[in-house]
Structure formats: structure tokens, C-alpha cells
């Protein structure tokens, strides 16, 4: 019985191309009590592998977080399978704004301690005591309220290419960092300000809203379904779009265009640009913004030294990497001293905070 992906990304891409079928990219999450995550993981893999599902799915005792793609003509069978599982029945599926048949090239279903790395001890507060969920229309109304502080719960490389007008965008590498920063900066306004939060699909806000209510915030709100669902409602209901730029997504598309605004810059030359790339040096793979001109000049690398290493024969590159274990320190996202135009959001956070919290 096959319980793990056996094809390479290249082999899978060739099969998708040969099949000639349109695929749907979608995501969903739910917090639920799962007694045996490993058994659920195996069951999901067997069923979804047969439906040609590809993606990244995390299963934990606290729930499931899924980002995936599947052939459009398998959607009904996939939805029927979800509905056969009690805690997944009628779950909202966030359909991608922009579709790409190659958004995922492997099926990875993993058991994790948590479905989002939040660093919190869930036993210390009621994770079900969440904030008030808002539709796109309600979110816009709350956003325009002068008594509201809107906070982007995503990381710096996500908000850099797109965010809501007037939102505070903490300059953080992880979701966990933002939790403490926001609480500290808003500690004197837990009762008199509306704390309005948003993220990509809603999952980070689910936990954050309960955490902030536990910390004493009285007026806590979150965007239902995140930016993805907001965009769907904007497009279908003719609601004013208050999101500028692109929405970063965690698949090979890397982003979905929500508005025509380009609010970011190439990290190497400063030209307007909002498309991420990974450094071609296998010992680096830094995620950063690189325009087409710099991509050509730097051979898809983030620095001169990486360009020189990438130009070496493959065996020499492997020799240089020997004994150097790749870690999270290598795969930083947009953090490097040699990127002169990397936007520093800390100053923006301070300015917005003073503006929002005056009086």
C-alpha cells in the first residue's frame, strides 16, 4: 500500500502536462480534536492519492491545515470525501484567485505537533473563544472606523508585496513573533480600540484572536476566510477592494494578484517589482524579490558570491556544501545584508502605530 509520494517533481510535472486536465488550487483548515493524527494522515493520503491530489497538508491533534491542487473533474469526489468526515463536512474551501496546474507537484501529508507553528501553550487559554468573524463588506466598514487598529498577521515577506490600506505590518519572520509585539504595542488600548486582524486564509487569526481575548483585548475581530475569501467576495459582490498589491501564497505560484498596484521593489536594484525568487545557489536558496534585469545579470542569484558558486560544476558545488547542514538560518526569507533595497517595515510599524493610537 502506497503511503508516500514516489514521483519526483519533474516526473509529476510531465504527467500533469500529458494529462492535459485543468487543476484547481484550494486550501482549507479546521481546528478539531483528532485522536489519532497518524491514522487520519494515512487514510487521507490513500484516498487523495487516488484522486490525484497534490499539495502540503498538516495533521495534528488540534486539527488540519491543507493547501492542495486536484484535477477539476475530481472536485466532486474530493468534496464528497471531505463530507464523509464529521469535522470536515461542509467546510469552507478557499479556491485560489489565480489557477496554475503546476502549483503543487507532490502530495505531502505530514503529522505535526501543531497545524500552525504558533509557539503557544493551548492549555493556558480557551482556543475556542475566538474573535468576531467579518465578511468583506463588514471588514471594509471596520477598516474605515477611526477607532480601529488593523494588523496584518503575516510575515514581512508576505505583507511587503501586498496588504490592506492602512494596516500595521509588523516586521517579523514568524507568526509567533508578531503575537508578542502586537500585544506589547497595544497594551494600553485593550479596551478602547478595535483590534482587526487578517491573514492569508484565516488560520493564523483563528488562534491569534483567542489568544488576544485571553490577554484582555475586549474588541477582537478577524477577516473570515482571510484575503482569499475577501477577494472572492469582492469579485462576486462588487465590493470595493481595499487590498493593494499581491497576496503571497505558499505554493509554486508564490503570489496572486489582487490589485494592479506594485508596492514592492527589487531587493537588488530598487526597481518596482513584486515577484519572489529563490537564489539559485543550492547552499543558499534565499527567498527575495528580483526583477528580470537583475535575474539575468545575477544568474538568478542573490549575491556575487552565490553567482560564482552557482557557476561552478555541480560536483564542485556539492564538495563545497559537504559537512554544512542546511538549516533555517540558510533558508531565510528576504533577510540578507547584501540586499540594499529590502524594505524595513519596523519604521512603518512605528509610524502607523502612532497615527492609529493618537488620542
**What residue ranges do the domains of the chain occupy?**
9-111, 122-240+344-357
List 199, 205, 279, 284, catalytic entry: 199
Q: Cα separation of 120 and 130, whole Å?
A: 15
Reading the block at residue 270, the C-alpha cell is 530598487
Q: What is the DSSP letter of 253?
A: T
Evaluated on CA atoms 141, 143, 149, 155, the torsion sign reads positive
Q: Cα separation of 251 and 192, whole Å?
A: 39
Reading the block at residue 359, the C-alpha cell is 488620542
Tens-level pLDDT at each residue, the chain (359 residues): 678 888 888 999 999 999 999 999 999 999 999 999 999 999 999 999 999 999 999 999 999 999 999 999 999 999 999 999 999 999 999 999 889 999 999 999 999 999 998 888 888 888 889 999 999 999 999 999 999 999 999 999 999 999 999 999 998 988 999 999 999 989 999 999 999 999 999 999 999 999 999 999 999 999 999 999 999 999 999 999 999 999 999 888 889 999 999 999 999 999 999 999 999 998 888 999 999 999 999 999 999 999 999 999 989 888 888 766 554 444 467 678 888 887 654 444 454 445 545 44
How many CA atoms lie within 13 Å of 351's alpha carbon, on the beta-carbon side? Answer: 9
- All residues at 6 or more sequence positions from 161 whose CB lies less than 8 Å from its CB, including other chains: 245, 246, 248, 255, 263, 264, 274, 276, 289
Q: What is the pLDDT of residue 348?
A: 40
Say whether 206 sits in a helix, a strand or coil: helix
Reading the block at residue 257, the C-alpha cell is 494578484
CATH architecture of the domain with residue range 122-240+344-357:
3-Layer(aba) Sandwich (3.40)
Residue 191 burial (CB count, 10 A): 9
Q: Is 199 a catalytic residue?
A: yes
Element spanning 151, H or E: strand 148-152
What residues does 242 pair with on adjacent strands?
Answer: none
pTM confidence score: 0.86
CATH architecture of the domain with residue range 9-111:
2-Layer Sandwich (3.30)
Amino acid at each position: 500500500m502506497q503511503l508516500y509520494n514516489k514521483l519526483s517533481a519533474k516526473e509529476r510535472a510531465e504527467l500533469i502536462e500529458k494529462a492535459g486536465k485543468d487543476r484547481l488550487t484550494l486550501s482549507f483548515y479546521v481546528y478539531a480534536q483528532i485522536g489519532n493524527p497518524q491514522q487520519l494522515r494515512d487514510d487521507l493520503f490513500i484516498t487523495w492519492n487516488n484522486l490525484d491530489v497534490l499539495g502540503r497538508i498538516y495533521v495534528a491533534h488540534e486539527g488540519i491545515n491543507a493547501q492542495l491542487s486536484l484535477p477539476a473533474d475530481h472536485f466532486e469526489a474530493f468534496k464528497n470525501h471531505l463530507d464523509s468526515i464529521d469535522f470536515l463536512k461542509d467546510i469552507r474551501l478557499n479556491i485560489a484567485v489565480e489557477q496554475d496546474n503546476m502549483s503543487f507537484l507532490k502530495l505531502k501529508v505530514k503529522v505535526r505537533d501543531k497545524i500552525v507553528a504558533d509557539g503557544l501553550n493551548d492549555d493556558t487559554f480557551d482556543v475556542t473563544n475566538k474573535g468576531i468573524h467579518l465578511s468583506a463588506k463588514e471588514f471594509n466598514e471596520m477598516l474605515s472606523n477611526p477607532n480601529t487598529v488593523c494588523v496584518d498577521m503575516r510575515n514581512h515577506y508576505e505583507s511587503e508585496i501586498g496588504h490592506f490600506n492602512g494596516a500595521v505590518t509588523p516586521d517579523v519572520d514568524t507568526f509567533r513573533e508578531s503575537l508578542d509585539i502586537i500585544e506589547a504595542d497595544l497594551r494600553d488600548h485593550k479596551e478602547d480600540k478595535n483590534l482587526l486582524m487578517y491573514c492569508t486564509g484565516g488560520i493564523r487569526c483563528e488562534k491569534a484572536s483567542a489568544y488576544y481575548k485571553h490577554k484582555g483585548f475586549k474588541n477582537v475581530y478577524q477577516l473570515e476566510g482571510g484575503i482569499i475569501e475577501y477577494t472572492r467576495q469582492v469579485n462576486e459582490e462588487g465590493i470595493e477592494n481595499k487590498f493593494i498589491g499581491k497576496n503571497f501564497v505558499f505554493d509554486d505560484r508564490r503570489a496572486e494578484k489582487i490589485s494592479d498596484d506594485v508596492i514592492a521593489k527589487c531587493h537588488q536594484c530598487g526597481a518596482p517589482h513584486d515577484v519572489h525568487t529563490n537564489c539559485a545557489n543550492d547552499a543558499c536558496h534565499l527567498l527575495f524579490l528580483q526583477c528580470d534585469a537583475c535575474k539575468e545579470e545575477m544568474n538568478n542569484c542573490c549575491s556575487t558570491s552565490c553567482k560564482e558558486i552557482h557557476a561552478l560544476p555541480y560536483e564542485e558545488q556539492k564538495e563545497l556544501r559537504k559537512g554544512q547542514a542546511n538549516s533555517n538560518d540558510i533558508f531565510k526569507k528576504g533577510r540578507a545584508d547584501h540586499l540594499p533595497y529590502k524594505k524595513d517595515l519596523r519604521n512603518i510599524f512605528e509610524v502607523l502605530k502612532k497615527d492609529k493610537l493618537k488620542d
